[in-house]
Amino acid sequence: MNSTKTTNDENRANKRRVSKMELLATFAFFVANWIFWGVRYDDFLFVSQENSLFLFRWDFFLDWIGTPGGFLGYLTAFFLQFSYFPLLGGAIWAFWGTALHWTTAKTLNLRGVGYVFSFLPSCCLIVSATWVGYEVYIPFNASLIYNGFVGATLATAAFAGFRSIKSCRARLLFALGVGSFAYPGFGFWAAFFLFICGLDEATTRWASDAQFSEEQISKKRILSAPTRRAIALTASAAIIPLAWYYFKYFSCIKFCNFWIQGLIDDVRDKPYVVSAFSYGFASLAAFFYATTLVFSKILGNRAAKNAGRGKKSKRDREKTANARILNDKTFEKTSKKSNVKASEKGADVDEAETARRLERAAAKSRTRLFWELTAVVWAATFAISYRPATFFSVLASTRALADGDWERVLESESRLTQPNVQNVALRNLALFETGALAEKAFERPISGLSTSRISEIDLNRAQAGSSYYRCKFWLDALALESESSSRRASIETIFCYYGRSNIAARIATDNFVATEGRSASCLKTLAICATINGEKNLARRYLNVLAETLFYRNWANERLAFLETEDFRRGIRDSLDDAEYAARLKEREDAAPTRESIENAARRFGVDSENLRKIAKKVEKARSLRPLKDAPTPKGYPNLTFFLNLFVDDFDDATPEVRELELVGALLQKNGDFFLKHVDKYLEERGFAKGGAPKAIEEGLATWRFSAFGDDWDKIEYQFRPETVAGLTAFTNFVNSVQDSNSPSAQAQIREYCAGTYWGFGADQSIYEYQN
Amino acid sequence: MSDEKSNRNESVENISDFALESAASELASSEKKRKKLGFVAAAFFVALTLAAIVSTRLGGSGTPPPLGEIVDVDKLPVIYPDYLETTFPVNIAPPNFRIEEDGDRFWTRVSGSVGGESTISGRDVRFPMQKWRRLAEQNAGGRLEIEIYVRKNGVWSKYRTFGVGVSPDRIDPFVAYRLIEPGYEFGRRIELAQRSLETYRESIFFDNRASATSPCVNCHSFQNRQTDRFLFHFRRSDAPQESGTIVVENGEARKVDARLEAAAVSCSYPAWRPTGDLVVFSANKTRQYFHSLSSQKIEVYDFFSDLVLYDAKTDELTPISQTDADFETFPTWAPDGKKLYFCSARVELEALSPENATLDEAAKTKKLEDEAKLRTKDFRYNIMRATFDEKTRTFGPTETVVDAASRGRSALHPRVSPDGRFLAYTQIESGTFPIWRPEADLYLLDLATGETRPWDEVNGENADSYHTWDSSGRWLVLSSRREDGQYTRLYFAHVDENGRATKPFALPQKDPTSDRRRFKSYNIPELIAEPIDVDVRELTRAAAETATRRTAP
């Protein structure tokens, strides 16, 4: 009897230990989640909330709930606003991640090692959020990054309700009822709930199914009731949204979105890729549910309990527990009688002891397995979450911009060995704002690779068998790269800070339209632009909305107060007179530089024409490196190249700082015509002594005047100005001295000497390859 | 003894039973009392909540100002929308407004010149619908005097009384418009809406989100302000072959391939002839460019523009004008359908010169587009008129009605009043797109006398552009950016028989500030005499089908 009692006690103690272990794991999961979001992904969280908006207002709420899944989006936006303080936001998303895990564990009754599987849906959503987050950073639909946490948790909670119902009819009605009424508010997740109910129905044997033969149930014959229920529920996951679409949402959502609406709204530019990813990850979540269901069966936590006996209600479970206690007592009584006999048999005691030892060892091994599996799941989540350095540098810079901290932008970019175009753009902006653009623009790489664009090096690595780079290839094929439309992400801010208020407002307006008016970041830009333009009422319109938010209130109120000051009234710039503008345009066109032949120029300035020919060959070679005219890639970049393409006509109207910016932009763009056309005016206005202009301008001046050759060498025409003669000779000599440009030191020299020209560009690229 | 004992025991038992009973009854009664108290408390809280809700709904933060303690303020109160000294039609929905003065309590008294009075407390002055109707009906042709009292720091102030007129002329009860975010390249959610002017009810009759690629929808036009026949355009820039014109006749919609093949251009700016089956379109090739510093943010220009006659019965498209050197646009019919008004600009582009005739079509188009962009400021439109012969379906010689070009201006959007006496148009410095021109103003031409004048009564500080008359010719709706220069809002003005207009009032809203939070423009307002009663599904179905034409081109 004693040994039995001891065994029972041990069992109970073991259960308690397992419970504690599970609780500990849950707590650790919460903490890990918190660190993940609040510390490691803090910039990500901050920028997400900037690209979202929550207003505690009825019409805003009504606007949200106009489309399926709107209520969930509204809820998510509510939680997301707290990510203004990433640690607080991190705690919130950690809570929802943990809540999802907890509801999964409780709903599926996962215990012991099986408990680890309850982490999977949360981990899957974390991975999904980081990847989708990267993708939707561009269209700014931030709340769809996170709505999975809330949606999946609520769906699982409803699923728990479903499983607690014994009557199959009531269960079916419950699922259909919840699915039907939840669809408008929760969109995809209502359908998801129905889907997992169907899955559960297909894999569970209920007591009420006793009327069906074992053969019928095991073979899941189409006519058996459990199968019919499973089919009905799974089908309703598609039919209910379809019905809602037909009767209610026909006019405001696209047919292709009727199912996934709520999980994801259609985002512009690349809706299918984004949809595919979100959908894929959601399906993956469903897959993990299926996995956990299957594992729960293998581990016997559910299948054994339900097989042939039916699923038990709480009352039934209590009855069973009482019966067990009673059985234990009866067993005790019987054991008392046999105790004497047992004591006589010392061998039996040893056997029991051995059994206990074995059990302890097994428990230990289970514990080890539990923690090992947990560690593997978390480590995998951590490892496959999307965190490229360039993207996170962009996020860090964007966050720094919100504080106007230019040094942080520069510091963030300087850590990168291979910046992407957005990093370069933000770095240039920081240099411009700190007045060092013309001095330092070319000290760092002037071109960048897009984050997931396959470079030649990557290609080699992939061919050498690297699975990581193969994966990159695969992703590239799916066009998962934000750079292709990166101007959406940061260009409004960039133009705004460059003082191009109209264009910044134009892009911000487009982005604002894309988010259906739910972006604090766009509102901020629009308010700033309107203030710069002196459009008081317009600025007030945007600021009044921001003043209703929880965390941008002070920001908005300060600016609202500024609109009433004398400083604002003085700052309103006079609009240009159109006729005057046209006259200036004509004057500029008339004053376009004239050209002459290379021989004439060589004669005039006393330069050896052969030297010029050598230079010309270099120029020709370098020219092949520059982006093709009208090539879409550089045009779309939010850097000075793109900037210049739009505003070449504004040079005369710009401030001296912006003129300098445009000249540097011309160098980046290899637009020598523009550079030569305007550089004199700039130099004259700034009053620089010869050779005293900022480095980029000086070098651009020297080299561009050599590079203005046409492609037809026989009819070369170019222009020289007297002040460049010395530079010409020096440059010719220099080019001769570095004929062997394959050596890294020569390349470095070229880069140092010729930065700001397409010579520099070519050298820059070659150095890149050498370094990598 | 034992009996005594037993008696005592019995009595003790009785006592204890009694005590228990009384204790139990006490408990029960105290339970009842508690329940009662709880009920009373709950009722109190419910009543309190209801009162709070009611007072909030009524905006009741104040009581009538005590007499004798009022300070007169010699200025007009600031209210939003600005309804000071405006005139409303008798059938308009209550023109609610917000008092924008500093204060903690507000009180408003509205009294009619003929009779009737209404008092409302709160910053938001929201008239109850029935009360407003009675007041308006009672004072039709008269005025409503509005007194506003504001309490600040315990002192009540009375602002200068202002009045609003109530015109007995009823306005067409509905207005149709397009709701569009003023984006530049991206129309995520464009809706065609109708709004009852007698209530606040707005309904969407077409939403571009229903279509696969969220196309642009624009240029809705009704025949003679009736809704049994109307059309609008449906454009897909990514798939021009799927673009088309949705023509709705008696509730049935179809997508018509209204493209001028010769020029490979879709038709736009429609004008239904008041009777019959004819519509005149303008076929335009349009581009836009942006100013990064100018106060004018955007310029939209045409580099091809001709007029086309469309027969809704046969779907036949007949070019009216095919002149390269003249850009014709914005057609509109005289009320009798015998004359067509339109805008025309003489353009002398090098790309159209004989030297460039040998260029291939793509190169020519590119050259034309580039040159038109540079020369936009030279394009100045006049308003022209041509007679129309219904039998032969031909147009007579054109005559200039408004010669704006010679004054260095561009006259656009002609609209003839239903009585045929006045022509209202928009004037800008140059070009064809007034909505992005801050200087855009309305002008009025008296067709009887030929006198033209800037319509100062209705013009605001920013762009005033698209306008239409109602059926009676007594009301005009115009779209204007006077509020902030960015978001177009609707304004209504009364016009008397001599063309004198009253100060325009903004479209009334139930929540007076709701338009401040609406980040959409009201575009192309068209007053209509009856509601649009077409199933959204029918329109969406038609939008999804392939555009066809009954008569082969």
Contact residues, chain A, for B289 at CB < 8 Å: none
Burial class (CB in 10 A: 0-12, 13-18, 19+), A765: middle
pTM over 0.95: no
pLDDT of residue B147: 94
pLDDT of residue B60: 41
pLDDT of residue A741: 46
Q: Which of residues 170-209 of B touch A (CB under 8 A)?
A: 181-189, 204, 206-207, 209
CB-based contact, B510 to chain A, within 8 Å? no
Q: Return the H-helix or E-strand segment holding B303.
A: strand B298-311
Q: Are B292 and A650 an interchain contact pair (Cβ–Cβ within 8 Å)?
A: yes
Cα(B95)–Cα(B88) distance, rounded to whole angstroms?
9
Q: Indicate which of B124, B292, B429, B517 best probes the interface with A, i.e. most A CBs within 10 Å of its own CB.
A: B292
Q: Which of B304, B298, B309 is nearest to B333 (CA)?
A: B309
Q: Does residue A597 have a pLDDT over 60?
A: no
| Least confident range of A745-749, B40-44, B264-268 | A745-749
The highest-confidence range among A473-477, B355-359, B534-538, by mean pLDDT, is B534-538
Other Cβ atoms less than 10 A from the Cβ of A681: the count is 15
CB-based contact, A537 to chain B, within 8 Å? yes
A478 Ramachandran zone, left/alpha/beta (phi>0; psi -120 to 50): alpha
Distance of CA B466 to the CA centre of its chain: 11
Instruction: For residues A201-223, give the mean pLDDT.
Output: 65
DSSP code string of A283-313 = HHHHHHHHHHHHHHHHTTSSHHHHTTT----
| Least confident range of A219-233, A326-340, B357-371, B399-413 | A326-340
pLDDT band at A717; cut points 50, 70, 90: very low
Cα(A493)–Cα(A520) distance, rounded to whole angstroms?
13
ω into B270 cis (within 30 of 0): no
Q: Are A59 and B204 an interchain contact pair (Cβ–Cβ within 8 Å)?
A: no
pLDDT band at B69; cut points 50, 70, 90: confident
pLDDT band at B170; cut points 50, 70, 90: very high
pLDDT of residue A295: 66
Cα(A260)–Cα(A283) distance, rounded to whole angstroms?
11
* Orientation angle between helical segments A725-737 and A695-707, nearest 10 degrees: 80
Of A536 and A277, which is predicted with more confidence?
Answer: A536
Q: Are B296 and A255 an interchain contact pair (Cβ–Cβ within 8 Å)?
A: no
Q: Does residue A421 have a pLDDT over 90?
A: no
pLDDT of residue A616: 53
pLDDT tens-place string over residues A367-405:
888 888 889 889 988 888 888 787 888 889 989 988 878
pLDDT of residue A280: 57
Burial class (CB in 10 A: 0-12, 13-18, 19+), A574: exposed
CB-based contact, A587 to chain B, within 8 Å? no
Q: Return the H-helix or E-strand segment holding A47.
A: helix A42-50
Q: Does residue B343 have a pLDDT over 90?
A: yes
CB-based contact, B519 to chain A, within 8 Å? yes
Give ∠ CA A505-A508-A510 in degrees, rounded to 5: 110
Q: Does residue A30 have a pLDDT over 60?
A: yes
Q: Does residue A757 have a pLDDT over 90?
A: no
Distance of CA B301 to the CA centre of its chain: 25
* Orientation angle between helical segments A406-414 and A389-402, nearest 10 degrees: 170
- How far A269 CA sits from the closest chain B CA (Å)? 10
Q: Are A510 and B511 an interchain contact pair (Cβ–Cβ within 8 Å)?
A: no
Contact residues, chain B, for A503 at CB < 8 Å: 290, 292
Q: Does residue A297 have a pLDDT over 70?
A: no
CB-based contact, B483 to chain A, within 8 Å? yes
Q: Are A251 and B484 an interchain contact pair (Cβ–Cβ within 8 Å)?
A: no
Percent with pLDDT over 70 in chain B: 84
Query: Which amino acid is located at A355 in the chain?
Result: A
Counting every residue, how long is chain A? 772
CB-based contact, B294 to chain A, within 8 Å? yes
pLDDT of residue B440: 92
pLDDT of residue A220: 54
Token code pair at residue B162:
């202002």
pLDDT tens-place string over residues A118-175:
898 888 888 878 877 766 665 566 777 888 899 989 999 999 999 898 888 889 999 9
| Least confident range of A284-293, A617-626, A668-677 | A617-626
Q: Does residue A759 have a pLDDT over 70?
A: no
Instruction: For residues B265-273, give the mean pLDDT.
Output: 87
CB-based contact, B300 to chain A, within 8 Å? no
Say which of A250, A517, A544 has its CB closest to residue B537.
A250
Q: Are A254 and B210 an interchain contact pair (Cβ–Cβ within 8 Å)?
A: yes
Cα(A195)–Cα(A182) distance, rounded to whole angstroms?
14
Q: Are A253 and B519 an interchain contact pair (Cβ–Cβ within 8 Å)?
A: no
Q: Indicate which of A537, A543, A577 best probes the interface with B, i.e. most B CBs within 10 Å of its own CB.
A: A537
CB-based contact, A650 to chain B, within 8 Å? yes
pLDDT band at A302; cut points 50, 70, 90: very low
pLDDT band at B374; cut points 50, 70, 90: confident
DSSP B495: B
Residues of chain B by 3-state class (helix, strand, coil), percent to 5:
20, 40, 40
CB-based contact, A251 to chain B, within 8 Å? yes
Q: Does residue A601 have a pLDDT over 60?
A: no
Query: Which amino acid is located at B198 in the chain?
Result: E
Of B481 and B352, which is predicted with more confidence?
Answer: B481
Cα(B360)–Cα(B351) distance, rounded to whole angstroms?
12
Say which of A512, A541, A647 has its CB closest to residue B292.
A647
Mean pLDDT of chain B: 84
Note the ipTM here: 0.84
Other Cβ atoms less than 10 A from the Cβ of A371: the count is 15
pLDDT of residue A114: 80
Cα(B490)–Cα(B523) distance, rounded to whole angstroms?
8
pLDDT of residue B467: 94
Say which of B290, B484, B537 has its CB closest to residue A502.
B290
